[in-house]
Structure 1
Amino acid sequence: MSKECEWCHSTNLKRINSSVFWELPDGTRAIEITETPTFTCNDCTMSYQSEQTVKEIEDQLFLINCKLIEKTITFNELMKIPRVLKKNYFDFFS
């Protein structure tokens, strides 16, 4: 794997799936997203999601009806929820 750890710059990374906890855009509650693509560093032991995965989650949560989400959902289930909006009109960087 050619990617390096964002924390210690080691190339000793492993791709895993793990649970993350995310606050909904309206701030009413947090949810657990299981089976989320994650990098874990075998040297510094830090676990984190790539910027792309973070953006996918944030965009999806912004564009769907979050009231449909239970307390726990898998990453793939979250990404399959139909969007109310076509795109994030408040993302001026994409």
Structure 2
Amino acid sequence: MQCLWCNEDKARKTTKDGYWVLPDGASTVEILQVPALECADCGLYIEDEINEEVENRLHTSDLTHYSNVFTYEELLKAPTI
């Protein structure tokens, strides 16, 4: 698979855990198993479109019944506001 940063065929699909700031700006959540790419030269990173999807979901989902740690799949299944 081609790396988005170096354009070499050294990338592979994987997952990454990451932290995002909630829309209130005062708290964060840890989201587990977010789709990511890992390049032998560039390292592990989340694509912009996945990051944007997470940001959009954080703004439009009802997360009141979630702890501050949940999976990407749980975020996708969260009810909308």
TM-score normalised by L of structure 1: 0.76
Identity of aligned residues (%): 30
Shift of 1:51: 1.8
Structure having the higher strand fraction is: 2
TM-score normalised by L of structure 2: 0.86
How many residue pairs align between the two structures? 81
Structure 1 unaligned residues grouped into runs of 5+: 85-94
Cα separation, 1, equivalents of 2:66 and 2:4:
30
CA displacement 1:31-73 (0-9 Å, x = unmatched):
11001101011123x2111122111101100002343331210
Equivalent residue, structure 2, for 1:69: 66
Q: Does 1:56 align with 2:38?
A: no
Structure 1 runs (4+) greater than 3 angstroms displaced: none
Larger Rg belongs to:
1
Structure 2 unaligned residues grouped into runs of 5+: none
Structural RMSD (CA): 1.5
3-state SS of 1:31 partner: strand
